[in-house]
Structure 1
Amino acid sequence: MTVSRPGVTIVPIHGHTPEIHESAFIAPGCTIVGNVTIGAGSSIWYNCVLRADFSRIVIGERTNIQDGSVVHCDGPTPRDPDGCPCIIGNDVLVGHIAMLHGCIIEDRGFVGLGAIAMNKARIASDSMLAAGAMLTENKVMQTRELWAGRPAKKLKELSDAAIAGMKLGVAHYAENAKAHRKAVGEM
């Protein structure tokens, strides 16, 4: 279900209107275009752009896309008839000014500040793409891995403490979104 959001630009295009769960927080300044689905309890923070004009973007539940991030996807081409949708699972943390383009982030994945994930790249559950890293096309991270650098390469396995810290981050953003939602007059 999509509802009006104060200060948010929602653009239907090519027969698709964004579907935003009523419990999701979409901050003022965001632009949501086309075939976008945002799940329950998720938060899209200030000045993000989610543009799905030729494919689709799916964001699961309790996921946060932090300030200034860009999410996009590619439609079908002769070389790639399935295109490159951007699929983001549940309980995902995406840091400020990240760029996600036609990639897949599984449940509980983490994308650091300013990181880039490109077409058909995959960030597995409980894995972390470090701040500033670039996960190039078709690269696949495995569960509990930390990758860093440009291009990104595996650095190490994540500890239980790191996984617990990511879970705390998800909980923090879910609570903080409620306060921001109230502050901007959505409740």
Structure 2
Amino acid sequence: MPIHPFAGQAPRIDPTAWVAPGAQVVGDVELGPGASIWYNVVVRGDVMPIRIGARSNIQDGSIVHVTRKLAATSIGEDVLVGHMAIIHGCTLMDRSFVGLGAIVMDGCVIEPDGMLGAGALLSPGKVIKERELWLGRPAKFVRRLTDEEVERNRRGAAGYVELAKMHAGSLA
């Protein structure tokens, strides 16, 4: 099983959440209902807590960590974190989106429906406001998201809940 206690703290995983084989969930981590941790993801709450809300997904190869005595990681509900992303000591609010290979550093906040595009680097302490799209290395504000883009991201989170159920069923 890819669930490991550390320093007296064991991960707390809702019975409806799914952790893929090969993923590693360590320490003070909480996964909400319908959340999914995909193949080869590391969620390491060894020196500060990590909270992942209902129906959020951390896609294949991503890393979620914290900074000792400085920054926990909080991921809200219905959040999409794309493949190979690094989420470190930050806050991803409800319905936020982190694209493939993007990096979110200490003290950053992505507000509801905010989006960090693929490959972007959000440097420490930056805030992506509600419905903003940021791109680049370092990431900068590009434009406001359209209603259609916001709706597509919301459907994506719901789609991952269903996909996780299918994977869990096929591996049972």
The TM-score, its normalising length taken from structure 2, stands at 0.99
Residue 53 of structure 1 pairs with residue 40 of structure 2:
no
Out of 11, 20, 28, which is 2:21 matched to?
28
Please report how far the alpha carbon of residue 10 of structure 1 lies from its aligned counterpart in structure 2 after TM superposition.
1.4
Please report how far the alpha carbon of residue 15 of structure 1 lies from its aligned counterpart in structure 2 after TM superposition.
1.3
Could you report, residue by residue, the CA deviation over 1:77-102 in whole angstroms, capped at 9, with x for unpaired residues?
A: xxxxxx20010000000000000000
- Aligned equivalent of 2:171: 184
Q: 1:73-152 alignment to 2 at 5 Å? A: 73-76=66-69, 83-152=70-139
- Aligned equivalent of 2:143: 156
Greater CA drift, 8-17 or 111-120: 8-17
The size of the alignment, in residue pairs, is 172
Considering only aligned residues, what root-mean-square deviation do their CA atoms show, in Å? 0.6
Q: Which has the larger radius of gyration?
A: 1
- Aligned equivalent of 2:3: 10
**3-state SS of paired residue (1:15):** coil
- Aligned equivalent of 1:80: none
Unaligned runs of 5+ in 1: 1-7, 77-82
Please report how far the alpha carbon of residue 125 of structure 1 lies from its aligned counterpart in structure 2 after TM superposition.
0.4
The TM-score, its normalising length taken from structure 1, stands at 0.91
Point out 4+ residue stretches in structure 1 off by more than 2 angstroms. Answer: none
Could you report, residue by residue, the CA deviation over 1:59-118 in whole angstroms, capped at 9, with x for unpaired residues?
A: 000001000000000121xxxxxx200100000000000000001000000000000000
Instruction: Output the CA distance in 2 between the equivalents of 1:53 and 1:26.
Output: 18
Please report how far the alpha carbon of residue 11 of structure 1 lies from its aligned counterpart in structure 2 after TM superposition.
1.3
- Aligned equivalent of 1:5: none
Residue 66 of structure 1 pairs with residue 59 of structure 2:
yes
Instruction: Output the CA distance in 1 between the equivalents of 2:162 and 2:6.
Output: 32
Instruction: Output the CA distance in 2 between the equivalents of 1:9 and 1:63.
Output: 19
Percent identical residues: 49
